[in-house]
């Protein structure tokens, strides 16, 4: 059962428990100093550590249930309770199983997927997201939120890409820091995942990733580094895969050398559920807390299988025989105690709230700002209710709930506003919003005991569905197709990758038929991945709406009816063909027991530009219902000055007739590097809101740090003297001006 409500909230009871636990001691203070909030944190940790027995120390390092680890009742030290994220607080599960506990008061706000958050290109939205989801975790008495995810989008088949923040390390770094800080203001630890190189779901528990040091440090680690060194993350989750032949949940180079020594991480390393494979490696290679080593521990041939975890009885026996270091043990326990003092025993954390109007408003705002207008010739979007009487909505994704499914990020919500529901509310009484399904995808509605309650069964054949949709399209004033992917296996879902780049369920045929029947067609894609669009030239408007959470329908209606002017930008590239992706082109996916990242640094737009490949939609691309100019790109000097910087400026003007926001993007290219470098790399961005006709000047300070690369020959970061180019524009393929400067 879950820990008692009062036990966690009233410090007096904690003090009383500690006093009872110390009654048998013959020496020492009468009141446990580690409960004195005025004492330094590290002093309290050392005092608590000194009071713990060997058995108690080992007990706090491993799970006691599916999502909790033990405390030390004798000393008044509470348990640690984790919850899956990163898009919402997972419903309560049974003590030892994945299935739901059947509570009726654990419905949460589903926030948009992290691809949508990254697409806002707005750190303020990330702060709002983190603060809001942290409040929900706090209300539910969770100590650790298992998120956010910041693994790099290496290829568009990864089933878990929707949980991450895109293909660029700089964008991910800037967006993860406010999220982590927002969560932790609630006394809830953000557990940043999956560290590291978790870039595919195929063979995820055994594949060994072979990657060069430059790519590791320049592409795959920066977001984790920012989360730790800037965000102050209190927890990190290891990945399932292997690197250098060691599983990442107990990987000495990643956890000991980089995370703890180089970055100075003082929090806990938590295993992914079932990610631990060896006791000695878990002890020596940096793991601090072990969870989920078996799905159903109590049937593992022992009365308490949690004692059989790698960091449980096997560890204790090694310690008793003197075959394991107590110093290593104490380091792990200190980290766990530090986590507990920051979370469960933090008496200053605020009260939380669950599924509040403010959280629903935040989810709606983030979703609307993250939607990306990929194409728009102005003939369809935004819809004007005054010029239409009949709007036809086609597509299963217009009615299918997307908060249920997808793996560990599956949620239970009190209500999910579907696209059709939101569109009907926004259209008003003057517009009849009709619906045709068009195709049948996945009629399942449940995951881990949570059922959406929908009935998606269909009796019509594919031909009948298509014919009915086309007939209705001919009679409509405009058509909105809502399709894309879903959270079923081999789509956007944990545990399996996509099998192809195209849209599933014959959607391409439906879109092409609708385009022939009615030229006023807009396509809305609900997905967390790029998809092929063979029909792109026949469709006047395309909107990427992502998985948008509880308020998906309202947010979509805000955008398509023009209440919200779209301002999202793609956090990853959309290639025309799957073969345009570097990992696919080089034949280095999915691999077997090993996969080599032969593309190295050249991930996403870096690969496309190095090969001269034109994307379907570029990294950073996103349109608006207004227009913007970016002009007069200039610098204040021709080389980095004595103050170690050069300032690049540009003027951005709203040249249209609607208020809107543009993301001004700064890329830098090294013109004289002795080592291979991308044509250009994102090094800055600013989102600017402007009224019609308004102009603002944006500035970027370029420092030597932004010019560095990781020198694998020296094992260190450095920048070479020489000529650099700063590119300023609205997307990676839409550069409006450049300046050249020198680093001397």
DSSP letter string, 365-395: HHHHHH-EEEEE-SSSSSP-GGG-SEEEEE-
Q: How many helical (H) and strand (E) elements, i.e. helices and strands, does the chain have?
A: 19, 27
How, if at all, do strands 144-146 and 189-195 pair?
A: parallel
Report the C-alpha gap between 580 and 586 in whole angstroms: 10
* DSSP conformation letters of 2-30: PPPHHHHH-HHHHHHHHHHHTTT-SSS-S
Report the C-alpha gap between 207 and 364 in whole angstroms: 38
Task: Output the pLDDT for position 295.
Answer: 56
Locate 57 and state its tokens.
Answer: 């120390």
Q: Can you name the residues that pair with 731 across neighbouring β-strands?
A: 734
Question: Residues 439-469: pLDDT tens digits?
Answer: 999 999 998 889 899 999 999 999 999 999 9
Of all residues in the chain, what percent are helix, strand and coil, respectively (each to 5)? 30, 20, 45
Task: Output the pLDDT for position 302.
Answer: 53
Report the C-alpha gap between 611 and 607 in whole angstroms: 6
Helix or strand or coil: residue 294? Answer: coil
Question: Residues 701-724: pLDDT tens digits?
Answer: 999 999 999 998 888 999 999 999
- How far, CA to CA in Å, does 257 sit from each of 173, 285, 333, 390, 395? 21, 9, 19, 63, 50
Q: How many CA atoms lie within 13 A of 634 on its CB side?
A: 6
- Lowest-pLDDT range, 13-22, 703-712, 723-732? 13-22
Q: Where would I find the H helices in 11-107?
A: 11-21, 41-51, 54-59
Question: Residues 21-37: pLDDT tens digits?
Answer: 333 333 333 344 455 77
* DSSP structure class, residue 623: B
* DSSP conformation letters of 578-612: GGGSHHHHTT-SS-SSEEE-TTTT--THHHHHHHT
User: Which pLDDT band holds residue 305 (cuts at 50, 70, 90)?
Assistant: confident
- Lowest-pLDDT range, 241-250, 269-278, 637-646? 637-646
Of the candidates 84, 272, 288, 558, the residue annotated as catalytic is: 272
How, if at all, do strands 660-670 and 681-690 pair?
A: antiparallel
Residues 6 or more apart whose Cβ sits within 8 Å of residue 8: 78, 141, 344
Model confidence at 7: pLDDT above 70: no
Task: Output the pLDDT for position 643.
Answer: 81
How, if at all, do strands 722-731 and 734-743 pair?
A: antiparallel
Unique residue bearing structure tokens 């298992």: 146
Instruction: Please name the helix (run of DSSP H) or strand (run of DSSP E) that holds residue 507, with its range, or none.
Output: helix 507-517
Model confidence at 654: pLDDT above 70: yes
**In the predicted model, what is the mean pLDDT of residues 141-154?**
98
Work out the mean pLDDT of the chain and round it to a whole number. 93
Question: Residues 65-94: pLDDT tens digits?
Answer: 999 999 999 999 999 999 998 999 999 999
Instruction: Please name the helix (run of DSSP H) or strand (run of DSSP E) that holds residue 512, with its range, or none.
Output: helix 507-517
Q: Can you name the residues that pair with 684 across neighbouring β-strands?
A: 666
Locate 322 and state its tokens.
Answer: 């003197």
**In the predicted model, what is the mean pLDDT of residues 208-236?**
98
Buried b (16+ CB within 10 A) or exposed e, 529-559: bbbbbebbeebbbbbbbbbbbbbbbbbbbbb
Report the C-alpha gap between 519 and 533 in whole angstroms: 17
Q: What is the pTM of this model?
A: 0.95
* DSSP conformation letters of 314-365: HHHHHHHTT-S-HHHHHHHHHHHHHHHHHTTT-TTPPP--SS-HHHHHHHHH
**In the predicted model, what is the mean pLDDT of residues 482-505?**
97
Model confidence at 562: pLDDT above 50: yes
- Phi and psi at residue 544, to the nearest 5°: -90, 115
Unique residue bearing structure tokens 């008793």: 320
Model confidence at 550: pLDDT above 90: yes
**In the predicted model, what is the mean pLDDT of residues 53-74?**
97
Instruction: Please name the helix (run of DSSP H) or strand (run of DSSP E) that holds residue 552, with its range, or none.
Output: helix 552-560
User: Which pLDDT band holds residue 1 (cuts at 50, 70, 90)?
Assistant: very low
Model confidence at 5: pLDDT above 70: no
What length is written for the chain? 744
Question: Residues 161-190: pLDDT tens digits?
Answer: 999 999 999 999 999 999 999 999 999 999
| Cα 427 to chain centroid, rounded | 32
Report the C-alpha gap between 344 and 349 in whole angstroms: 9
Q: How many CA atoms lie within 13 A of 28 on its CB side?
A: 16
Active-site residue flag, 272: yes
Strands (E) in 448-529, as ranges, are 450-451, 478-484, 521-526
User: Which pLDDT band holds residue 639 (cuts at 50, 70, 90)?
Assistant: very high
Locate 316 and state its tokens.
Answer: 């204790």
Question: Residues 570-626: pLDDT tens digits?
Answer: 999 999 999 999 999 999 999 999 999 999 999 999 999 999 999 999 999 999 999
Report the C-alpha gap between 726 and 736 in whole angstroms: 11
Q: What is the CA radius of gyration of the chain?
A: 26
The count of other CB atoms within 10 Å of the CB of residue 351 is 9
Report the C-alpha gap between 256 and 206 in whole angstroms: 21
Report the C-alpha gap between 529 and 162 in whole angstroms: 7
Dihedral sign for Cα atoms in the order 361, 131, 15, 337: positive
Q: State percent of the chain over pLDDT 90.
A: 89
Helix or strand or coil: residue 41? Answer: helix
> Closest by alpha carbon to 115, among 395, 370, 457?
370
Domains present along the chain, CATH in parentheses? 5-342 (3.20.20.300), 371-570 (3.40.50.1700), 573-625 (no CATH), 626-743 (2.60.40.10)
- Lowest-pLDDT range, 6-20, 104-118, 243-257, 530-544? 6-20
Report the C-alpha gap between 134 and 181 in whole angstroms: 10
Contact 454, 400 (CB under 8 A): yes
Model confidence at 366: pLDDT above 60: yes
Torsion of CA 258, 259, 261, 263, to 10 degrees: 100
User: Which pLDDT band holds residue 207 (cuts at 50, 70, 90)?
Assistant: very high
**In the predicted model, what is the mean pLDDT of residues 419-435?**
96
């Amino acid at each position: 059962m879950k820990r008692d409500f009062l036990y966690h909230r009233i410090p007096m009871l904690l003090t009383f428990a500690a006093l009872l636990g110390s009654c048998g001691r013959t020496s020492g203070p009468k009141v446990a100093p580690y409960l004195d909030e005025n004492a330094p944190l590290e002093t309290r940790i050392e005092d608590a550590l000194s009071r713990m027995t060997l058995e108690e120390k080992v007990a706090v390092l491993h799970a006691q249930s599916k999502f909790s680890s033990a405390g030390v009742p004798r000393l008044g030290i509470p348990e640690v309770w984790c919850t899956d994220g990163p898009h919402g607080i997972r419903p309560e599960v049974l003590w030892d199983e994945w299935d739901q506990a059947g509570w009726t008061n654990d419905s949460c706000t589903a926030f948009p997927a992290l691809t949508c958050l990254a697409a806002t290109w707005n750190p303020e939205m990330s702060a709002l997201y983190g603060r809001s989801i942290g409040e929900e975790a706090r209300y539910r008495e969770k100590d650790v939120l298992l998120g956010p995810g910041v693994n790099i989008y290496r290829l568009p088949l990864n089933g878990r890409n929707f949980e991450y923040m895109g293909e660029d390390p700089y964008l991910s770094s800037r967006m993860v820091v406010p999220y982590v800080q927002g969560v932790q203001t609630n006394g809830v630890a953000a557990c940043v995942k999956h560290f590291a190189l978790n870039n595919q779901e195929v063979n995820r528990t055994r594949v060994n990733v072979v990657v060069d040091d430059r790519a590791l440090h320049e592409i795959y680690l920066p977001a984790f580094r920012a989360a730790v060194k800037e965000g102050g993350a209190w927890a990190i989750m290891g990945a399932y895969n292997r690197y250098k032949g060691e599983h990442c949940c107990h990987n000495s180079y990643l956890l000991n050398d980089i995370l703890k020594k180089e970055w100075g991480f003082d929090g806990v390393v938590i295993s992914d559920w079932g990610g631990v494979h060896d006791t000695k490696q878990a002890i020596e290679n940096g793991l601090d807390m072990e969870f989920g080593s078996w799905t159903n521990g109590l049937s593992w041939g022992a009365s308490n299988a949690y004692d059989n975890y790698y960091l449980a009885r096997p560890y204790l026996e090694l310690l008793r025989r003197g075959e394991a270091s107590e110093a290593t043990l104490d380091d792990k326990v200190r980290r766990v105690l530090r986590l507990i003092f920051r979370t469960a025993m933090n008496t200053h954390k605020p009260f939380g709230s669950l599924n509040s109007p403010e959280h629903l408003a935040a989810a709606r705002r983030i979703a609307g700002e993250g939607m990306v207008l990929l194409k728009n010739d102005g003939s369809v979007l935004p819809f004007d209710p005054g010029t239409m009487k009949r709007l036809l909505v086609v597509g299963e994704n217009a009615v299918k709930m997307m908060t249920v499914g997808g793996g560990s990020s599956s949620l239970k919500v009190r209500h999910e506003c579907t696209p059709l529901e939101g569109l009907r509310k926004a259209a008003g009484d003057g517009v009849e919003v009709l619906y045709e399904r068009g195709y049948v995808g996945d009629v399942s509605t449940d995951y881990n005991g949570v059922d959406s309650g929908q009935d998606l069964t269909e009796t019509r054949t594919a031909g009948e569905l298509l014919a009915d949709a086309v007939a209705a399209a001919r009679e409509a004033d405009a058509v909105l197709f809502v399709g894309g992917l879903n959270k079923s296996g081999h789509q956007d879902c944990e545990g399996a990758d996509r099998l192809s780049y195209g849209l599933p369920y014959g959607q391409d045929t439906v879109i092409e038929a609708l385009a022939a029947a009615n030229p006023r067609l807009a396509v809305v894609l609900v997905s967390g991945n790029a998809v092929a669009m063979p029909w792109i030239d026949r469709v006047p408007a395309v909107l990427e709406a992502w998985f948008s959470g509880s308020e998906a329908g309202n947010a979509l209606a805000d955008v398509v009816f023009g209440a919200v002017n779209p301002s999202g930008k793609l956090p990853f590239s959309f290639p025309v063909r799957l073969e345009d992706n570097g990992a696919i082109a080089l034949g280095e996916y999915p691999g077997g027991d090993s996969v080599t990242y032969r593309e190295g640094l050249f991930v996403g737009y870096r690969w496309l530009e190095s090969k001269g490949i034109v994307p379907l939609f570029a990294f950073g691309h996103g349109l608006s219902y207004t227009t913007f100019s970016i002009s007069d790109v200039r610098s204040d000097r021709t080389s980095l000055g004595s103050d170690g910087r050069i300032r690049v400026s540009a003027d951005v003007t709203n040249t249209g007739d609607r208020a809107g926001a543009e993301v001004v993007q700064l890329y830098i290219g090294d013109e004289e590097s002795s080592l291979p470098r991308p044509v250009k790399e994102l090094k800055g961005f600013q989102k600017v809101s402007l009224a019609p006709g308004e102009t603002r000047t944006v500035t970027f300070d370029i420092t030597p740090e932004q010019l560095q690369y990781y020198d694998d020959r020296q094992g260190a970061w450095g920048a070479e003297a020489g000529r650099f180019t700063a590119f300023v524009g609205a997307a990676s393929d839409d550069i409006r001006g450049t300046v050249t400067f020198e680093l001397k």
